[in-house]
């Protein structure tokens, strides 16, 4: 595939804040964007000139969308495989449908990474209460039950600490196909964020230390410091293998626990990621710009850190009401996603602060 020159239209499946930030980066490079989403509006609507409201099962609407864009990418992974396969048959989808298929199912993603020699928490597939009880016998009751699909920000998960928790956990996850994971005693969490170009070139951003609160990312900080720094090389090697094996094009994120045994892979996202938002101001080239460059077949930009240290803090729910106070700090870069209603646990924006 030859490169897609500025002036072309990038189709984005999903219209949330990630779509919004991809669209801003695309516009800066001279591209137009066209969102396809089941909702009639969303954070990306304010910055994207075209929007199709359509269901992911509406083959006619998807075909019309494919005809109106030059390349398709996506900003979240819960898109039915059939929709992505249809779009891929009609044109180019980057990252490819296989990457999405693996990443949207926890069991297949863990098996895929294990097959490449990566370290994961012990895990067992669970399709019934009986299987859950057997899995607890093998893994132990210090564990987390997670739905295979459609989980995000800690949703679709149940923490177990006693074999008697099985019934409650199985009902908490809605009795859906799940995996039981042994609880990892980690020292810290971090992510590897890379971009792989259409020519196979790979660049990594500095790995941030990620702190979660109630299962939701609260802060990402670079440099990540000890003990993460010593584990980044091994985690990067695994992430590069994943990208290579999938013939991946675009930004790819892998999340890890820094454990006493080394980096433990938790999950991957075949897209730009919340733990990479700091790159907008904190890196020479942001994850959003490099995602656009990669999917359009352009040379990649430098991923080097642009400050001594950077901290990104998510504004969750009513945190964003403090925007005026946040702006009294002249070093704070405020990002608000334009969401009208501040619900509990909802990502409303983020703040990035650079130190020199
Ligand atoms: P996830 O949805 O898999 O990213 O999980 C959300 C958060 O829950 C993670 O970032 C960890 O803080 C925690 N967590 C998930 N899986 C495990 C595990 N196997 N052991 C310990 N903590 C976990």
Residue owning the nearest CA to atom 1 of ligand 1 = 154
The token duo for 227 is 């003990």
Cα–Cα distance measured from residue 321 to residue 316, given in angstroms and rounded to the nearest whole number: 10
- Counts for the chain of helices (H) and strands (E), in that order: 11, 17
Dmax over CA atoms of the chain, in Å, equals 60
Torsion angle in degrees (nearest 10) through CA of 107, 108, 111, 113: -120
State the angle between helix axes of 81-90 and 59-68 in degrees (0 to 180), rounded to the nearest 10. Answer: 40
Q: Residue 99: which of 77, 117, 120 has the closest Cα?
A: 77
Quick one: 21 exposed, middle or buried, by C-beta within 10 A (0-12, 13-18, 19+)?
Answer: buried
Ligand 1 centroid to residue 5 C-alpha, Å: 40
Phi, psi (5° rounding) for residue 58?
A: -90, 95
Per-residue model confidence (pLDDT) at position 81: 92
Question: Of all atoms in ligand 1, which is nearest to the CA of residue 106?
Answer: 3
The token duo for 78 is 């819960």
Using alpha carbons, list the distances in angstroms from residue 158 to 71, 183, 257.
38, 11, 19
Cα–Cα distance measured from residue 278 to residue 281, given in angstroms and rounded to the nearest whole number: 6
Cα–Cα distance measured from residue 221 to residue 217, given in angstroms and rounded to the nearest whole number: 11
Ligand 1 centroid to residue 216 C-alpha, Å: 10
Quick one: 355 exposed, middle or buried, by C-beta within 10 A (0-12, 13-18, 19+)?
Answer: exposed
User: What is the SS3 assignment for 71?
Assistant: strand
The token duo for 75 is 């900003």
Q: DSSP assignment, residue 287? A: H
Q: Residue 113: which of 268, 248, 230 has the closest Cα?
A: 268
- Choose one of 142, 151, 266 to mutate for the ligand 1 pocket test, by most ligand atoms within 8 angstroms of C-beta: 266
- Choose one of 135, 215, 220, 254 to mutate for the ligand 1 pocket test, by most ligand atoms within 8 angstroms of C-beta: 215
Q: DSSP assignment, residue 197? A: -
- Assign residue 107 a region: left if phi > 0, alpha if psi is -120 to 50, beta otherwise? alpha
- Would the CA dihedral through 33, 39, 191, 125 be positive or negative? negative
Cα–Cα distance measured from residue 58 to residue 209, given in angstroms and rounded to the nearest whole number: 40
Ligand 1 centroid to residue 351 C-alpha, Å: 24
Ligand 1 centroid to residue 123 C-alpha, Å: 13
Residue owning the nearest CA to atom 18 of ligand 1 = 183
Q: Residue 74: which of 334, 62, 313, 109 has the closest Cα?
A: 62
Residue owning the nearest CA to atom 8 of ligand 1 = 215
The token duo for 335 is 């990002």
pLDDT tens per residue, the chain (356 residues)? 689 999 999 999 999 999 999 999 999 999 999 999 999 999 999 999 999 999 999 999 999 999 999 999 999 888 999 999 999 999 889 999 999 999 999 999 999 999 999 999 999 999 999 999 999 999 999 999 999 997 766 678 999 999 999 999 999 999 999 999 999 999 999 999 999 999 999 999 999 999 999 989 999 999 999 999 999 999 999 999 999 999 999 999 999 999 999 999 999 999 999 999 999 999 999 999 999 999 999 999 999 999 999 999 999 999 999 999 999 999 999 999 999 999 999 999 999 999 99
Ligand 1 pocket by C-beta < 6 Å: which residues? 121, 144, 151, 154, 181, 183-184, 189, 212, 215, 255, 266-267
- Is residue 96 within 8 Å of residue 246, measured between CB atoms? yes
Q: Residue 69: which of 32, 41, 42, 20 has the closest Cα?
A: 32
The tokens 């998807």 sit on which residue?
62
């Amino acid at each position: 595939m030859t490169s897609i020159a500025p002036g072309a239209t990038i189709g984005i499946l999903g219209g949330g804040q990630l779509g919004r930030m991809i669209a801003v980066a695309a516009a800066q490079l001279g591209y137009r964007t066209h969102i396809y989403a089941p909702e009639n509006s969303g954070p990306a609507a304010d910055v994207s000139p075209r929007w199709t409201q359509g269901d992911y099962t509406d083959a006619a609407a998807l075909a019309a969308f494919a005809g109106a864009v030059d390349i398709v990418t996506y900003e979240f992974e819960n898109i039915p495989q059939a929709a992505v396969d249809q779009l891929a048959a009609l044109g180019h989808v980057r990252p490819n449908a296989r990457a999405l298929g693996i990443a949207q199912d926890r069991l297949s993603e863990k098996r895929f990474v294990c097959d490449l020699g990566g370290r994961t928490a012990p895990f067992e597939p669970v399709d019934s209460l009986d299987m859950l009880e057997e899995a607890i016998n093998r893994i132990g009751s210090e564990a987390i039950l997670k739905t295979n699909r459609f989980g995000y920000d800690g949703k679709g998960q149940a923490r177990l600490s006693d074999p008697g928790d099985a019934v409650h956990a199985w009902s908490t996850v809605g009795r859906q196909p799940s995996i039981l994971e042994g609880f990892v005693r980690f020292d810290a969490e971090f992510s590897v964020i890379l971009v792989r170009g259409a020519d196979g070139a790979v660049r990594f951003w500095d790995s941030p230390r990620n702190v979660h609160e109630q299962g939701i990312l609260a802060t990402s900080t670079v440099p990540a410091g000890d003990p993460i720094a010593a584990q980044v090389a091994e985690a990067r090697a695994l992430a590069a293998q994943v990208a290579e094996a999938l013939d991946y094009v675009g930004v790819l994120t892998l999340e890890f626990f820094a454990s006493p045994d080394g980096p433990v892979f938790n999950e991957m996202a075949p897209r730009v990621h919340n733990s990479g938002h700091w790159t907008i101001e904190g890196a020479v080239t942001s994850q959003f710009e490099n995602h656009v460059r990669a999917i359009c077949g352009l040379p990649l930009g430098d991923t080097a850190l642009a400050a001594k240290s950077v901290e990104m803090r998510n504004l969750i729910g009513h945190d964003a009401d403090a925007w005026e106070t946040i702006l009294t700090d002249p070093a704070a870069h405020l990002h608000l996603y334009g969401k009208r209603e501040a619900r509990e646990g909802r990502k409303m924006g983020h703040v990035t602060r650079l130190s020199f």
